[in-house]
Amino acid sequence: MKKFSTTIKRKWLKEKISDIMIDGYFIEYKDEKPFWDNRICDLEFPTKAVFLCGRESRTFNLLEAKLINSNDVPNKYKEAITTKYCWALKCVRE
């Protein structure tokens, strides 16, 4: 089973943890670019997702990945998206 890993800023990791506490899951958004397309398309779900934040790492279960219109991204995450479409990765606690 392939694992998914990415770096994440501390600010965003805190937001994601908060989302899990409220909704039971969080969505990580990634631009639709060849780098992410290749990494995400090769995954089989569910799989492990490792988020690296400085020396700290957090592992979650990645349940699904969908390509969505960037207009559907919540306002608090829009600043990180630069493409018309983006990947929405649904993660839950391990």
- Mean pLDDT calculated for residue range 70-84: 94
Q: State how far the Cα of 55 lies from the Cα of 52, in Å rounded to an integer.
A: 7
**pLDDT band of 46, cuts 50, 70, 90:** very high
Any idea where the domains of the chain sit in the sequence?
4-93
Distance CA 65, CA 28 (A): 9
Domain 4-93 classification at class level: mainly beta
Confidence band for 2, pLDDT divided at 50, 70 and 90: confident
Q: What is the pLDDT of residue 23?
A: 95
Q: Is 26 helix (H, G, I), strand (E, B) or coil?
A: strand
How much is the mean pLDDT over the chain? 94
Residues 26-41 have pLDDT tens digits of 999 999 999 999 999 9
Res. 1: pLDDT tops 90: no
- Give residue 52's pLDDT: 96
